[in-house]
Amino acid sequence: MSRYLLEAKDLSKTYGRGRTAVHAVAGVDLRLGPGEIVLVMGPSGSGKTTLLSMLGGLLGPTRGSVEVVGVDVYGLPPRDRPALRAHSLGFVFQAFNLLGALTAEQNVLLPGRLLGRVGADQRARAAALLEQVGLSERRDFLPGDLSGGEQQRVAVARALMNDPPVILADEPTGNLDSARGQEILMILHDLARDGGKGVLIVTHDPRAEEVADRILWLEDGQLRDRRADDVQWAQDPVCGMRVDAQRAVAFVEGPQGRVVFCSHRCRERYLEG
């Protein structure tokens, strides 16, 4: 079995055919291990959503394969894929995508229900997850009565309901202001660091770079090395992450010079202890 939670080999997607064919994703190799946060960045139209859809078992590739915890997703018969998604993948979307008629708690419970899991322990887990994202008091709110940041936190709790090893997030901060976006990134960060999950984030939010272990640059459907010239790596003393010292938004000016952090969260922790 693979050491990776998520592994894509030669993944390609071509929309249409002949002259009008669009090679949205072309020969992408990608691996995601436990506790790792990988960012996929790139200009719009570069194939990020297409890539994520294929990784999430939602879009059959033209070529190549995807393995989720060692299972060849597209080798499975299509009717077995929903269960694989529900078990092994947590999704976070740019548009939050909560079901509008269900309360926060019912939204969190939904992935469990989809696997036929109902009962007191499920409700306890949903309550714990809402607590984890700081929304215990809003469990009975409908999404329409929650702010964008709160909705996205509910969405993250929902993604965690079945305790999947892999979280896939598409522009999770795209519809949030900077402070709310930061909160979401911190939660995703903690999921990898403390929860051992593999987190893959598609984004073009530069703030996300602070929390990433690796940044993959997608352009014209292919992964490219990002220009490394303007990056100056430093280490976050709290979580040990590599941080671009020039772009870090969280830092303290200490006696030995500037100490940079992956996030305000780590900075707070540093100052606390």
Partner 1 sequence: MLNWALRSLFAERGALVASSAAVGLALLLAVLVEGVFAGEAEQIVAYAEQAGADVWVMQDGVANMHMASSFVHVDRIDEVRAVEGVSRVDDILYVNGFLGAGEDEWFVYLVGLRPDALLGRPWAMAAGRSTPDLGEAVVPDVIARKSGLTLGSSVRVADRTLRVVGLSRGTYSMANPVVFTHRDDLAAVLDAPRSTSYLLVEARPGHSARDLAAAIADRIEGVSAMTRADFVESDRAMAMHMGADVIALMSGVGTTVAALLVAFTVYVGVLRRRRELAVALALGAVPHRLLAAVFAQSLIVTGFGWAAAVALALLLRPALSWALPEVTVLFALPTLLKLGGLAFSVALLAAWIPVRRVVGIDPADAFRA
Minimal distance, residue 237 CB to partner 1, in Å: 36
Alpha carbon separation from 111 to 39, 118, 121, 136, 263 (Å, rounded): 25, 10, 14, 19, 30
- The stretch near partner 1 (CB under 8 A) out of 80-88, 128-136, 228-236, 250-258 is 80-88
Minimal distance, residue 202 CB to ligand ADP, in Å: 7
Phi and psi angles of residue 183, each rounded to the nearest 5 degrees, phi first:
-60, -45
Burial 93-114 (b: 16+ CB within 10 A, else e): bbebbbeeebbbbbbbbbbbee
49 touches Mg ion by CB under 5 A: yes
Q: Which two tokens stand for residue 221?
A: 């459907």
Q: Are 245 and 233 in contact (CB under 8 A)?
A: yes
48 touches ligand ADP by CB under 6 A: yes
Minimal distance, residue 49 CB to Mg ion, in Å: 3
The site string for ligand ADP over 121-160 (x = CB under 6 A, - otherwise) reads ----------------------------------------
Out of partner 1, ligand ADP, Mg ion, none, what residue 58 binds, judged by CB under 5 to 8 A for its kind, is partner 1
Q: How many CA atoms lie within 13 Å of 106's alpha carbon, on the beta-carbon side?
A: 10
Residues near 69 by beta carbon (within 8 Å), at least 6 away in sequence:
1, 2, 5, 88, 165, 166
Cα of first residue to Cα of last residue in the chain, in angstroms, is 40
62 touches partner 1 by CB under 8 A: no
The structure tokens 């059959």 sit at 60
Q: Are 250 and 266 in contact (CB under 8 A)?
A: yes
86 touches partner 1 by CB under 8 A: yes
Out of ligand ADP, partner 1, Mg ion, none, what residue 47 binds, judged by CB under 5 to 8 A for its kind, is ligand ADP
Contact with ligand ADP (CB under 6 A): which of 14, 22, 117, 222? 22
49 touches ligand ADP by CB under 6 A: yes
Q: Residues interacting with partner 1, by CB under 8 A? A: 49, 52-53, 56, 58-59, 79, 82-87, 91, 93-95, 97, 99-102, 106, 110-111, 113-115, 142, 158, 170-171, 174
Q: Residues interacting with ligand ADP, by CB under 6 A? A: 15, 22, 24, 42, 44-50
